[in-house]
Amino acid sequence: MSPAGLTWTPCCLCPRKANLLQSLLSRLQIWFNLLDPTVLLSSDAEIKNAHVLLGSGQKLNEKDGHAQTLSLSSVHADSGAVLPLIFRPPALMPISAPLVVASLLPHSSVKPALFWQFLLHSYSAGFNYANRNSSSEESNNTSLKQLLLIAGTVSYATCAGALPQIFINRLGVRSAPIQTLFRSILPIPLCAVLAFFNVYIVRSGESESGIQVFDPNGTPVGLSKAAGDKAVRETALSRAALFGTTAAVPNLLLLLLQRTRLFQRSALLAAPVRHISVALVLGMMIPVSFSLFPQLGTIEKDNVEEELQAAADGGPFYYHRGL
């Protein structure tokens, strides 16, 4: 992989220049551009042409801005392959929004709760796996172990995500305060924990096998398990912030609004307010969560394996964090 592969996609920026992109506001601005859903309308041929242009080393002008956005938002940073349409970053909002809204609904029985939790965590697992760091993988074929990890993650997260509804039904909860606890309070930490769990387990191979790290000049140094664990942990934390906040703000907002006279008189207002607020918070939190940690991660020399420390040349190592 070229030094450019250290930022977002191959042939983009070298590590020293990439430091310009490390501020949170800069990353946030970049993600607002990359998450434009209109790029999903581009064909694979257009994406490949844009990726070739970006990797050609030519000086880009303003007219090439769309090609840069198209490549960075649609091409895997390690393999250079075009990402599946539904697992590209711009597709996260339009696909996950209805799943998150439905999963947070106060269901009347366990089956619909399990159904929507299954769809949400299945999509999340697919997105996490498609956007992983694959620098240590020798082939693009998914191993049986990885398939079992994904299946186990989805199964466990589905059951755990439906626990509030299971408790309400099995225990026959009728008390309004206890129902509020299960329907509005418990889902907040549960969403955050399960989002963290989904990323950490699906991408656990990066911690076990390591990911490629580079010196400040962009030269590949070797595979580091410490860097892999740091990359997965940072991504898991960002996803926990995304889904935890998306569950917290609408639920707490609705609890406050239900105390007002308007909502007490018109109980039907709760549903549209819940749906709209979940979609709005999710849409705002996606670029924020993606920006919490740089795509070009750094790890200090003392924190990597001893056999790699000699190549540090006094500076930190760099790695692609994944998404």
Residue 136 corresponds to which tokens in the numbers above? Answer: 């240590």
pLDDT of 61 higher than 70: no
CB neighbourhood size of 120 (10 A): 27
| pLDDT at 170 (0 to 100) | 87
| Stated length of the chain | 323
| pLDDT at 113 (0 to 100) | 94
Binned at pLDDT 50, 70 and 90, residue 12 comes out as very low
Instruction: Give DSSP secondary structure letters for 58-120.
Output: PPP-GGGHHHHHHHHHHB-TTT-PBPPGGGSGGGHHHHHHHHHHHHTS--SSHHHHHHHHHHH
DSSP H/E element including 319: strand 317-320
| pLDDT at 62 (0 to 100) | 57
Provide φ and ψ at 214, rounded to 5°. -130, 155
Parallel, antiparallel, or unpaired: how do β-strands 220-224 and 211-214 relate? antiparallel
3-state secondary structure of 216: coil
**Is 258 in contact with 271 (CB distance < 8 Å)?**
no
The arithmetic mean of pLDDT across residues 247-271, rounded, is 86
pLDDT of 57 higher than 90: no
Q: How far is it, in rounded angstroms, from Cα 113 to Cα 104? A: 9
Binned at pLDDT 50, 70 and 90, residue 4 comes out as very low
User: Please, what is the angle between helix 144-161 and helix 110-130, to 10°?
Assistant: 140
The percentage of residues in the chain with a pLDDT greater than 70, rounded to a whole number, is: 87
| pLDDT at 288 (0 to 100) | 94
| pLDDT at 1 (0 to 100) | 37
Binned at pLDDT 50, 70 and 90, residue 125 comes out as very high
pLDDT of 21 higher than 50: no
DSSP H/E element including 307: helix 306-309
